[in-house]
Amino acid sequence: MRKGSIIQLAAIATVAAAICIAVALAIPWMPTAAGKEAQRIDFVFWFTTAIAIAVFSAVVSVITYSVWKFRARPDDDSDGPPIHGHTTLEIVWTAIPAVLVTAISIVSAIVLAQNSNAGSDPVKVGVLARQFAWSFTYSNGKTLGYLEVPVNRKVQLDITSDDVIHSFWVPQLAQKQDAVPGQHNKLVITPIKIGTFPVICTELCGLGHSLMRSHIDIVSQAQFASFLKSGGSTTGPPGLAVFQHNGCASCHTLKDANATGTIGPDLDKLKQYAAQAHRGSLAAFIKESIVSPGAYVQSGYQNIMPATFGQQLSAKQLSDLVQYLAEQAK
């Protein structure tokens, strides 16, 4: 092969690589990583992308060079040369991809092992998914409709579901884990960036799937320590604990519970709703709305509240919740 053709091939490959690298870097393909696991996953992504760009550029340069140099002239009607393979070339183009794919699998295996290592003392949080809300329970029994975790500490999530299959996902933490009824799936996160990020259900789970969202607050370790200490599930009226444990806050607004959900009716307006609904006393209206939410749907909202709370809540929990909501409405 002439030296000149090698230079031409290299030039084409360089141009192709430069275009690919510019596209790869100019577009923000992925959210900013807020966890160590996400950084490792991003590394695997870029490692694979670099290999893909190198292979693509080499192939493009050979194809472009061949089309340019070896194309048939307009008056050339002769047959092409009888080519019967080239053993060395075939070994080379089999061996190089084999090495690259093996490298990707080794890097992936290392990252997978690191990302599932919870260390010796992780913060443990139970994650319960149900149509269509998340609830998060800490080892001291504190339960909330959103997730709060300390920065720079390993957190082990124990994810399960009450009804159908859901999936836990925080884009900035890069990992997804299914929430399966009867199964406890683990997910390790190591937050590195203080801030608030969305928690998204990423498994089609019913009519309210697209609305099944919460958020994760990544806070300083000191702030997390005082968060854990302040108010377990035992403070406040019993109905408030029922409200918090069942993820009501992810869909409803209720000032007393610091709930700001906007998917379902605003529970601070229950009195006004009851007056419009004509479904008996305030307490009867609230109870009916929890047990058979489809019986009366407040205008401006969709009929997507799960009809399962009647079975999930004990009679005591239900009456506590009704009493609590009725008191807030007065």
Q: For the residues of 123-180, what is the DSSP string, one character each? A: EEEEEEEETTEEEEEETTS-EESSEEEETTS-EEEEEEESSS-EEEE-GGG--EEEE-
Nearer to ligand CUA, 132 or 146 (CB): 132
Site for ligand CUA contains 199 (CB under 6 A):
no
Q: Over the Cα atoms of the chain, what is R_g?
A: 29
Q: Is 107 exposed, middle or buried (0-12, 13-18, 19+ CB in 10 A)?
A: middle
Q: Which of residues 143-172 bind ligand CUA (CB under 6 A)?
A: 166
Site for ligand CUA contains 203 (CB under 6 A):
yes
Strands 133-138 and 143-144: antiparallel
Tell me how far, at minimum, the Cβ of 176 lies from ligand CUA, in Å: 12
Half-sphere exposure of 241 (CA within 13 A, CB side): 15
Which of the stretches 30-38, 92-100, 205-213, 289-297 binds ligand CUA when contact is defined by CB under 6 A?
A: 205-213
How big is the site for ligand CUA, counted in residues (CB under 6 A)?
9
Nearer to ligand CUA, 166 or 252 (CB): 166
Residue of 287, 295, 293, 291 whose CA lies nearest to 319: 287
Tell me how far, at minimum, the Cβ of 199 lies from ligand CUA, in Å: 11
Which of the stretches 61-69, 78-86, 200-208, 284-292 binds ligand CUA when contact is defined by CB under 6 A?
A: 200-208
User: What angle is formed at CA 50 by the lines to CA 49 and CA 54, rounded to 5 degrees?
Assistant: 115
Q: Which of residues 211-230 bind ligand CUA (CB under 6 A)?
A: 212
Single residue of 9, 111, 201, 259 touching ligand CUA by CB under 6 A = 201
The contact mask relative to ligand CUA for 85-124 (x = CB under 6 A, - = no) is: ----------------------------------------
Order of strands, edge to edge, in the sheet holding 133-138?
A: 143-144, 133-138, 123-130, 155-161, 185-189
Tell me how far, at minimum, the Cβ of 83 lies from ligand CUA, in Å: 55
Rounded-to-integer distance, Cα 276 and Cα 303, Å? 17
Which of the stretches 12-20, 78-86, 168-176, 199-207 binds ligand CUA when contact is defined by CB under 6 A?
A: 199-207
Single residue of 205, 249, 270, 318 touching ligand CUA by CB under 6 A = 205
Tell me how far, at minimum, the Cβ of 61 lies from ligand CUA, in Å: 46
| Three-class SS state of 228 | helix
Please enumerate in sequence order all residues whose Cβ is within 8 A of that of 38, keeping only pairs 6 or more positions apart, or say none: 172, 173, 174, 175
Residues at the interface with ligand CUA (CB under 6 A): 129, 132, 166, 201, 203-205, 209, 212
